[in-house]
Amino acid sequence: MGFPASLADDEKLLFFVDLSHYGFICTKLTLVDPLKLVPDMEQLLFSPLQVKNKTFRNRVVMPPMVVNRGIHTPAGWEWYARHARGGVALVIVEASDSIRFGTEYTVENLIPLVEGIHQGGALAAIQIFPGWRGQKVKPAQLSLDEIHKLIEQFRLAAEICLAAGFDGLEPHGAHGFLLNQFFSPEQNLRADAYGGPLDSRMRLALEIVETLQPLAAQAGALLLYRHSPVRAGYGIPESLELARLLVQQGLDILDLSPSSHNAPGDRAAPFMQLGIPVITVNELDRPERAVEALHEKRADLVAVGRGLIADPDWPLKVQQNRLDEIVQCRYCDDCFACLDRGEPVVCSEWI
């Protein structure tokens, strides 16, 4: 999906670039015959995972994907409830503009969203987007006062989401959007405490996590962070440094998007050393790729994006070995076209 569901257009190009140019750390990746992993599918994909006080019923995550249904409307509530009923362990609700909390998004109209997900048997997290998705502002254009207001928007959004019963909060720091721009030396041209060296470019992400962590902990909720481990201007070493500091601040789960086409979970693998669960994504609707990422310990959780748009019952069908019944995503990008037109996202395979 265009917004947090998956990749910006330039991200797609990076799949075919020599990652050493971006400082990729070559964690040893074992080449695996995916067909040999099929007997392990049940044990790997559908074993539970305990993270603090939260039990994930399996290892399948619905990643945040903007679908233009309105998270505070009956259409949005049913969209997410339906996917929970399909068997995922965790539903991460789409990127939700921080500026809309307290006005459009309230405790009252988010409770039905959370309840529907819980009734479907899944945990409910929500991705909080800095500002609003239509903004074109760059890091250098924000005043210090605007940065502080942005952090307060995250605080208010977190308080509302936790009061509505969410099990997790996820700041959106990936895919070239604002928090990711602050991290990027190519896009962050500030010359103050929020720009320049890596320590300063990490500051905003760390301050947001520092603000949210005690709120989540007090509510018994998990704190996630979504980050793109490799983009133009930085690579795995810089991303590892950010991740280490996030873990020190109490981060519970690291959500890394994307990995490459080469080996499922390859860009997530270096982060497994940090001692917290790692989510990976990219073409994991092919069950053998999802199983490989787990089998090779490149990630703890696998996110299935467009595959779940095509077929919300993907987890149940895989678990029940009904693979021939899965409605397959053909990567035609019709869902992107819906997104671009501002229409509710649908799949061409439904027709």
CA–CA dist 207, 249 (Å, integer): 10
CA–CA dist 46, 49 (Å, integer): 9
User: Per residue in 321-340, pLDDT tens?
Assistant: 999 999 999 989 899 899 88
Band of pLDDT at residue 223, cut at 50, 70 and 90: very high
Rg (CA), the chain: 19
HEC states along 84-145?
Answer: HHCCCCEEEEEEEEHHHECCCECHHHHHHHHHHHHHCCCEEEEEEECCCCCCCCCHHHCCHH
pLDDT of 222 over the 90 cut: yes
Give the per-residue pLDDT at 38.
Answer: 59
Give the distance from CA 104 to its chain's centroid.
23
Give the per-residue pLDDT at 291.
Answer: 95
pLDDT of 257 over the 90 cut: yes
Alpha helices in 132-230 (DSSP H): 144-164, 178-183, 198-201, 203-219
Give the per-residue pLDDT at 294.
Answer: 97
Could you tell me if 120 and 81 are in contact, meaning their C-beta atoms sit under 8 angstroms apart? yes
User: Which DSSP symbol is given to 72?
Assistant: T
Band of pLDDT at residue 16, cut at 50, 70 and 90: very low
Give the per-residue pLDDT at 7.
Answer: 40
pTM of the model: 0.90
- Per the model's pLDDT, the better-predicted residue between 75 and 134 turns out to be 75
- Per the model's pLDDT, the better-predicted residue between 115 and 350 turns out to be 115
Grouping H, G, I as helix, E, B as strand and the rest as coil, residue 53 is coil
Cα→Cα distances 11→57, 168, 261, Å: 31, 26, 12
Q: Given the structure tokens 């603090």, which residue do they identify?
A: 52
- DSSP per-residue string spanning 275-332: SS-EEEESSTTSHHHHHHHHHTTS-SEEE--HHHHH-TTHHHHHHTT-GGGS------
- What is the average pLDDT across 289-301? 96
Burial (CB count <10 Å: 0-12, 13-18, 19+), residue 196: middle
Residue 130 token pair:
């800095």
What percent of the chain lies above the pLDDT cut of 70?
A: 89
Could you tell me if 348 and 14 are in contact, meaning their C-beta atoms sit under 8 angstroms apart? no
Closest to 281 (Cα-Cα) out of 227, 210, 348, 224: 227
User: Per residue in 18-62, pLDDT tens?
Assistant: 333 333 344 455 555 554 555 678 889 999 999 999 999 999 999
CA–CA dist 76, 203 (Å, integer): 34
Give the per-residue pLDDT at 25.
Answer: 42
Residue 329 Ramachandran class (φ > 0 left, ψ -120 to 50 alpha, else beta): beta
Give the per-residue pLDDT at 1.
Answer: 36
Residues 6+ apart with CB under 8 A from 174: 4, 180, 226, 227, 228, 255, 257
Q: Yes or no: is domain 9-350 CATH 3.50.50.60?
A: no
User: Per residue in 66-83, pLDDT tens?
Assistant: 999 999 999 999 999 999
Closest to 29 (Cα-Cα) out of 216, 261, 235, 296: 296
